Each structure stands twice: as structure tokens, then as C-alpha cells.
Amino acid sequence: MIYMLKTSETHPLTWRIDKYSSNKSIGIHEYCHTGGYQSLKKSLKKLCPEDIILLIKESGLRGRGGAGFPTGIKWNLMLKSNIKEKIRYLICNADEMEPGTYKDRFLMERLPHQLIEGIIICAFTLHISCAYIFLRGDYYVAEKILNKSIDEAYQLGYLGKNILNSGFNFNLFLHTGAGRYICGEETALINSLEGLRANPRFKPPFPANYGLWGKPTCINNVETLSNIPAIIQHGSEWYKNLSKGKDSGTKLLGFSGKVKNPGLWELPLGITAREVLEDYAGGMKKNLFLKAWQPGGAGTDILSHKDIDIKMDFTSFQEIGSRLGTGISMAIDNNINIISLLINIEIFFSRESCGFCTPCREGLPWIVKLLKNLEKKNGKKEDIKILDELCISLGPGKTFCAHAPGAISPLKSALKLFRNEFENSIYKNKKNINIVSL
């Protein structure tokens, strides 16, 4: 269920949905009727690429895929890299495989033209003539809607040759992935798009210099690109003032789990997690209380219920040594066994490892085995020590990409917060056995 307030002034991503409040996708005519593609016209006729990049930089927009890298800086690096290279690519990362996350699917299914407009503006800014939307293979509804919307954009002249008589030529293609979590990592995504095994690549070189088919490539998330039209239309100061925190703009935030009203909302960055949980998700269900929570997907830390007043923005989480991630939170109630929860999470990450590096390939299944023993009360004291050691061996800088560090984030935080549950799962032989010497 999606809920929004009724004002375009505070909801740059979703305000059009209030005008067309049905659960159907907003077509190109409805989108244009509410000011759609006006930002593209403004970009093509009144702005140059340097103006747009400066505007995005000043807005403070950060990547909405989870890492939170400043979008303006990424675009600027791409614009300046390999200036003589005429062939450049843009990839929209729509491979939303993070468990518990569903924000990009919503944007693609309900507001496809907002995404397409953001993609075209980005391509114009970076002198790109070809782009791909790399879509999660399971998103069949989004695939159908995006294909229809791309066709509509071609028919009205927003895609193709000489867009709006500007001399700008641009083609957009939809590519469905084979269904691997690792494709969320940008270089693994590039390999998959090229028809190769979805393994991450060495960096450097970075995609901005050597990406898709060896050409400069910019990769942005669905929600990131969907913010672009509103920033172009209303300006950077307007966008910054939407926030209540240390980062600019609004974000799609949500809560799942045993809450009264699970859902997704567009809210100002800087709103507290407690406000999202209680004012929008309705709080915990009857006879349950919040034991812990994850702020932004399975690959983020498990946080204590005492941390529920943290502001939901990138900087606030960085200051406590954690990550906002996708911003789609999961409530963990008092009936959930932390070890059982971790088993579910680590089985997923173990299965989705590309298997390229040993710590990830061998370490994650080992973690699952140890956790299963603890769940059955068959664990040993040494098992907890091994889990501590694996959290170091699979940590940042110890593996080829960020898959393993993300996978052990919930485990590492759970070992710190709920160590008593691990210790209570150690096997204890209550029988007294007398050993007699012969």
C-alpha cells in the first residue's frame, strides 16, 4: 500500500499519483498534462550540460540505490572522462534484488515516464546517445509498462532522432536480467548486460572511464533518476529545503514486518525512524513490541529499538557507523529469534554469491552451518568465536566486492546486540558421566 500527502511542493516524486489516484500506471498524456517532459524541454532549449551538472551538484542529490554517492559528482566525472570518446552509455540500475525493498518497482509501475524523462535529461547532460534500463527479471508488470511507455515516448518525439528539434539523438532500450542479486553491483551488471557471467570487475578502471563494451558508462538507480525532472523544474534550493535533515530532498521510505500498516511513503530525508514507524506504519501490531530493526534492506545492520529515533538520512547513519541503505526498513518483533532471522538472511546471501573470491564463497555457507547448529541448540562456544572471526575475514577490503561485507553486516551487529541469544544456544550436556580408569 502506498500513501502520500496531497501537495507537489513536498512530494517531487509522487505528487502526480494523487491527481490520478487509481492504481494504474500513469500514461504519457496524463504525465504531460501534469507538467511532464517540461523539464526535458527546459534542459534541451535553455540549459547546457554544465548548467545541469551544477544544478544537480547544488541540489545535494545523493544516489538512492543504497550507497548515497553524490549524483552531481558522478555526472561530472563522467562528463570529463575520455572527452574524445564519442560513444558513451547510460545504464539505469533497476535490478532491485535487495530483500524487503520495493521502492523502484513502485516508481516503474506507476510513474514510468518520470523515470524516462530523468534518463533522457541525464543522457543529454553527459553526451550519451544510447541507454539501457537493466530490469530485475522478476518484475514482469514493470517490464510490460516500461516497454509500453518507451514506445509512447518514441511516438511523441521524446526519444529517437532530433528530440524536440534540438539536434539531440537518443535511444533507450529495456533489458531484463537473469535474476542475480550480484547484478546490483554496477560492474557485475555491466558484465551481465554484455552477456558475460555476472562477476564484479577490477576497479580501477571505473565505469566512467571503461564501462559497457569498454566505453565510458554512467550508472544510476531508478529513484535517483526519477528525482531529476523535479530538480530541473523547481531548482536546487527548493529541493534542499524539502529535507528535515543533513541531506537534501525527499526519499521513498517504508516499513515491513508485523506493523499495523506496512507500506511505502515519500517523506523528507531527516524524518526519524520512529515517525515513519508510528505515524505512517501505525506502530507494532497488538501484543508485540519492537525488538530491533533493519533500516534499508537485508544487507544493513540490525539496530536496537533504542536507535529508533535516528534521522533517516545518509549522513546520520554514517555518523553512527551504519548505512541507510535503500531506506525500506524491516521491523523485528519480540517473537522473532535473531538466530533464525539471520539464517534466513545468510542463506540468501550465500546462494547469491558469485563465487569469485574464497572468503565469500566458502565463508557464507560456513556461517549458515554454524547458525543452524546454534538454532538447534547444538552449537559450541567455539562457534561464536568463529562467527566473530568470519565477520573480520569477510569485512570491507577482504573480498573482491561489497557482497560479503553487506552479508555480514546483520550478523556482526546481531552478535554485538544479542550475544546472549547466541550464548544461550550453546549445547550443554546435563548428564554427569563418570570416567573409570581400567
Q: Which domains does the chain have, with CATH numbers?
A: 9-240 (3.40.50.11540), 250-333 (3.10.20.600), 338-423 (1.20.1440.230)
Give the Cβ contact number of residue 6 at 10 Å: 10
Sheet holding 2-3, edge to edge: 2-3, 263-268, 250-256, 328-333, 290-294, 303-304
DSSP states along 28-58? HHHHHHTTTTHHHHHHHHH--HHHHHHHHHH
Residue 369 burial class via C-beta count within 10 angstroms: exposed 0-12, middle 13-18, buried 19 and up? middle
Which pLDDT value is given to residue 429? 55
The one-letter amino acid at 22: S
Sequential pLDDT tens for the chain (438 residues): 444 444 445 688 888 887 666 678 999 999 999 999 999 999 999 999 999 999 999 999 999 988 889 999 999 988 877 666 789 999 999 999 998 899 999 999 999 999 999 999 999 999 999 999 999 999 999 999 999 999 999 999 999 999 999 999 999 999 998 878 988 889 999 999 999 999 999 888 999 999 999 999 999 999 999 999 999 999 999 999 999 989 999 999 999 999 999 999 999 999 999 999 999 999 999 999 999 999 999 999 999 999 999 999 999 999 998 999 999 999 999 999 999 999 999 999 999 998 888 999 999 999 999 999 999 998 888 999 999 999 999 998 888 898 999 999 999 999 999 999 999 988 775 444 343 333
The answer to whether the pTM exceeds 0.95 is no
Which pLDDT value is given to residue 11? 84
Q: Return the C-alpha torsion angle 14, 19, 25, 30, nearest 10.
A: -110
Nearest to 61 by CA among 314, 244, 322: 314
b (16+ CB within 10 A) / e for 26-57: bbbeebeebebbebbeebbeebeeeebbebbb
In angstroms, the Cα distances linking 145 to 113, 123, 183, 221, 320 are: 10, 21, 22, 18, 40
In angstroms, the Cα distances linking 267 to 4, 70, 216, 273, 311 are: 8, 19, 34, 11, 12
The one-letter amino acid at 326: T
Q: Could you tell me the three cell numbers for 143?
A: 517490464
Estimate to the nearest angstrom the gap between the alpha carbon of 419 and the chain centroid. 29
In angstroms, the Cα distances linking 184 to 181, 189, 225, 231 are: 6, 6, 16, 26
Looking at the DSSP bridge assignments, the partners of residue 91 are 132, 219
The one-letter amino acid at 179: G
Which pLDDT value is given to residue 157? 96
Measured between alpha carbons, how far is 91 from 153 in angstroms, rounded to an integer? 18
Which pLDDT value is given to residue 210? 92
Q: Are strands 250-256 and 263-268 parallel, antiparallel or unpaired?
A: antiparallel
